[in-house]
Structure 1
């Protein structure tokens, strides 16, 4: 493979990595660095020895409820110290974790709970998060609900303030034998019964994703998938081990990107996670300054928000060694602007739920090639396939197909109570890309996002990149709009920068002058903001669904009275 000869990461492409059980990441770091800071949550710090103790008490607590090997425990949590304690604790008990987004509706939580077959759900006593939990209890869809509170993990002064002034935000818990408070669950000696784990075969995490079909499916990720991905990220770091690493943790830990790049990778290297419950530019900048963070990871929209904030300065980032961008393509203009404003190096990467988080990333040292997602992690093979299934030569585009030790076991099948394995161990990503000189991977678009204009393929991301060069444009999303003559036409949605001005006609003229005739947009809308996914990625699906609904309404026949 090309990476045998051209590999810029700080290890060999064929470096062998030994899989572990996920909870071993914590037990090993707690043994090596018991007094090291594992978590900082608004100034309240949890040592590695303390995090392990909490995880062990959680494991013992759920085992006392009858949960263990073969059980599945859901986490319906924002980024609070409850999450890592429950995550590693569930795995210590031998159970499998299932992540749920706190932004899910009651219907979405119920559907995922039923599909995954969870036995317990961990949540907080926040009123805004309670409707989905109430739905689970009402439908008898879960045996146990384990409830924490923010006050028990905040610094003393903040905890008192929360109890005094945030009473309306708290949910009064029902008198129900299925509901257990976090403090009561952990009121034990931590003497859990260790379960034998096969890292290759045993499933550690069922992580739901839209996948390549748009239908939510649970990616079954083994202990080996998750730990190998963390070890791969550690292997490419030329400065490992990082004895004083402090990682900004504002990406949601329930998302696979943060689960691997922030949680498991940090715990593997005994780094400190500066935890924030959600992304807020002002809070993130303050946290970087307060703890002098050395590493951060985010999606492009986060980087944009940070440099747009009035308190952003190069001095804020003088402790940051690397900033990782993933989840969506970062425009060269944003990368250049962020690096100029902060003096921090941005490394773009690529991954997905089915790959346990990360497939490739630009190297720490050497060329960080703009517009690419770098080179594959060690042991990760990438092929580019044409529509007929033949492998494309270097430089030619096609579907990206990946294989490697971090690629999932398969998709969860609740009906059969098992896992639907991958054919041949390869995963067809549904992404369109090409391999450039020296083995750098470039993502062109998603197969399902391509727009078919009279038989000609149009790649939305290429048009979005052109619009992003306009000085008034903050971000743009291109979708397919139905067209009677040619089937589909590109339609643009744009959000402008603060205090910037531009008209739709001006932006259309700017774009259409720089692209092919078949690529020209049919319409362009300017909006105050564009929709985002749970982790801040531009939400093309939301706009596409809106467009389909609009078209259906416009073409619905009138019925005479």
Structure 2
């Protein structure tokens, strides 16, 4: 169905109506309507806090409308891709909704990508308009691509202008070396000039079911970067699904800390879009700085804290004796499995349980979440309107019975339309209309989902399947282990053998032999690591998830040298 932009506020208001989980039907609407509704219902309530500078919902909507009109003036409309290469700043929120209101498609770029990675994504998506920040570390990579003629327009936002007045003065005085030299010639356009024209954009007829709102790049199940096409209906349905399972949310009163990067689908949907939908104050931090994060938590007293396991572990380590976290009511963990020990540490600190959900870029992000109660080791039950199937991985046509381990496949209104310009990849990813996630898991008798591991991370030891997560969970039970990654390494006798990498907690010691001896009593013979290696740090992704690929490549290189 096509809904004119002028009618979307009324449609978006359906988000305020509680859904019956047993008879859930999503009400598709353009994403821009979420911001219109927040500005209508909570015009003077705090919307964004950025390092102490606050914006109210009316002001965020005003700037987004002006930016949308500015984008339309330079050619943005239906189907036009606009890249956002921004860290967490108010511009990331404003420009996201501005692109959507102008009728365009958002393409999220990681600001710390190399020039080569940025160039590849620009070419693959067909992005000709890029939005970035005047920080040299980010801007100069975009500027190099601009000199190669890759962009028609580069919109540059001012970091100093986003800060509170005193911090802005100090930034200009003492951080000037971090600023880029921004050209005033084409294709460059300052953000202040972009929003200096018409106050409102021309109405655009959005078909929520068909029009792509976001191209979200992901390695998917093959490791080849490709863009999941997320429609307006996909993302708004996912927000409605989450709202249907959270009856304690207080609209217009929640405060969400956002240190997760908004260019990642977790923060984009579960923090920004969800926060706008409920009129929450979104507390933005540009990067993970533990001192800054802890001070912000104490200053703003957030009620919601989304994160990944490593973030919750870092907060536990940084918390001072007697520090109060009782104001946090909802903690959501995703992106990677969270150990039971990690959950208990944070619950003891804050009194708030961590709700561990499951999702991926291809499902707009959320697929499961704990309902009325948490089951240890489970990522919850399917969201309303979502069907989870456990299928035999090879071939994937057979649906397995309850309790059997197999590939997790998903159906629901939040599942992507496909991969952009990759029909071959989409054909591999869907089976009988269900999305293949590449994860191994099982459903219990109450429909709770348990994740076993990634298919690609499976270790094949002499014909036996060994799941790295089982080894990692055992390692976390050791009192000295802070982080753990298990991978498969080449083994002449068994083909592959497990190897465990760990970091240790501060002020706690252990030897590799002691950890290995501990694991002998917690794992079966096949699962025992061939070696344990203690390191100062372990590789992480930009979101903060522990990353295996660097260690796999390192061990493969060692094996090649021994040949």
Once structures 1 and 2 are overlaid, which stretch shifts more, 94-103 or 380-389?
A: 380-389
Mapped partners of 2:545, 2:65: distance in 1: 35
- Residue 104 of structure 1 is matched in structure 2 by 113
SS in 2 for 1:434: strand
Contact 2:34 2:276 in 1 (8 A): yes
Kept after mapping to 2: 8 A contact 1:282/1:311: no
The alignment partner of 2:68 has SS state of: helix
Counterpart position of 1:443: 451
The residue aligned with 2:91 is 82
Query: Any conservation in 1 of the 2:429–2:435 contact (CA below 8 Å)?
Result: no
Which residue matches 2:171? 162
1:532 matched to 2:540: yes
For the Cα contact (< 8 Å) 2:21–2:244, is it kept in 1?
A: no
Tell me the TM-score normalised to structure 1 length.
0.94
Tell me whether 1:92 sits opposite 2:98 in the alignment: no
- Cα deviation for residue 133 of structure 1 reads 0.5
How big is the shift at 1:489? 0.5
Which residue does the alignment assign to 1:6? none
Quick check: 1:18 aligned with 2:27? Answer: yes
Q: For the Cα contact (< 8 Å) 1:281–1:309, is it kept in 2?
A: yes
Where 1:437 maps in the other structure, the secondary structure is: coil
Secondary structure of 1:358's counterpart equals: strand
Aligned to 1:263: 272
1:40-59 → structure 2 map (5 Å cutoff): 40-59=49-68
What is the SS of the residue equivalent to 2:420? strand
SS of residue matched to 1:225: helix
Q: Which residue of structure 2 lines up, in the alignment, with residue 173 of structure 1?
A: 182
Structure 1 residue 135, shift from structure 2 partner: 2.8
Relative to the length of structure 2, the TM-score reads 0.93
Q: Distance in 1 between matches of 2:544 and 2:36?
A: 32
Give the deviation of 1:138 after TM superposition: 2.7
Given the alignment of the two structures, is residue 369 of structure 1 paired with residue 378 of structure 2, yes or no? no
- TM-superposed CA distance for 1:146, in Å, is 0.6
1:396 counterpart = 2:413: no
Structure 2 gaps, min length 5: 1-17
Q: Do the aligned partners of 1:13 and 1:377 also contact (CA within 8 Å) in 2?
A: no
Separation in structure 1 between the aligned mates of residue 183 and residue 198 of structure 2, nearest angstrom: 27
**Greater shift in the superposed pair: 198-207 or 40-49:** 40-49
Aligned partners of 2:204 and 2:507: how far apart in 1?
59
Cα distance change of structure 1 residues 163 and 312 upon mapping to structure 2, 3 Å threshold: farther
Q: 1:87 to 1:312 in 2, by over 3 A?
A: farther
Give the Cα–Cα distance (whole angstroms) in 2 for the partners of residues 322 and 175 of structure 1.
Answer: 46
- For residues 159 and 439 of structure 2, the distance between their equivalents in structure 1, rounded to whole angstroms, comes to 40
Secondary structure at the aligned position of 2:357 is classed as: strand
Unaligned runs of 5+ in 1: 1-8, 556-561
Task: State the shift of 1:10 in Å.
Answer: 8.5
Aligned to 1:427: 435
Q: Does 1:514 align with 2:512?
A: no
Q: Residue 423 of structure 1: CA displacement? A: 5.2
Check conservation: 1:38, 1:51, Cα contact below 8 A.
yes
Q: Distance in 1 between matches of 2:141 and 2:224?
A: 20
Of stretches 170-179 and 158-167 in structure 1, the one that deviates more from structure 2 is: 170-179
Alpha carbons 1:123, 1:146 under 8 Å: kept: yes
CA displacement 1:472-509 (0-9 Å, x = unmatched)? 11011011101111110011111111122111122112
- Summarize the Cα distance change of 1:161–1:527 in structure 2 as closer, same or farther, 3 Å threshold: same
Is residue 219 from structure 1 mapped to residue 225 from structure 2 by the alignment? no
CA deviation after TM superposition for structure 1 residue 94, in Å: 0.3
Q: For residue 196 of structure 1, give the secondary structure of its aligned residue in structure 2.
A: coil
Q: Which residue of 1 aligns with 2:390?
A: 384
Match of 2:417 among 409, 418, 437: 409
Q: Partner of 2:195 in structure 1? A: 186
Query: Is the 2:49–2:282 contact (alpha carbons within 8 Å) kept by the matching residues of 1?
Result: yes
Q: Give the equivalent residue in structure 2 for 1:288.
A: 297
The size of the alignment, in residue pairs, is 543
8 Å CA contact retained: 2:209, 2:231: yes
d(CA) in 2 for partners of 1:482, 1:421: 29
Name 2:307's counterpart in structure 1.
298
SS in 1 for 2:256: strand
Q: 1:103 Cα shift?
A: 1.5
Q: What is the distance in 2 between the residues matched to 1:402 and 1:313?
A: 43
Distance verdict in 2 for CA 1:13–1:281, change over 3 Å: farther
Residue 285 of structure 1: how far off its partner (Å): 2.3
In structure 2, distance between residues paired with 1:542 and 1:313: 38
Contact 1:306 1:312 in 2 (8 A): no
Answer whether contact 1:411 1:419 (CA < 8 A) is retained. no
Partners of 2:429 and 2:515 in 1: CA distance:
47
- By how many angstroms is 1:313 displaced? 4.3
Q: Is the 8 A contact 2:369 2:383 kept in 1?
A: yes
Partners of 2:356 and 2:443 lie apart in 1 by: 15
Change (3 A) 1:451 1:423: closer
- Report the Cα offset of residue 280 of structure 1: 2.4
**RMSD of Structure 2 on Structure 1 (CA):** 1.8
Q: Which residue is 1:121 aligned to?
A: 130
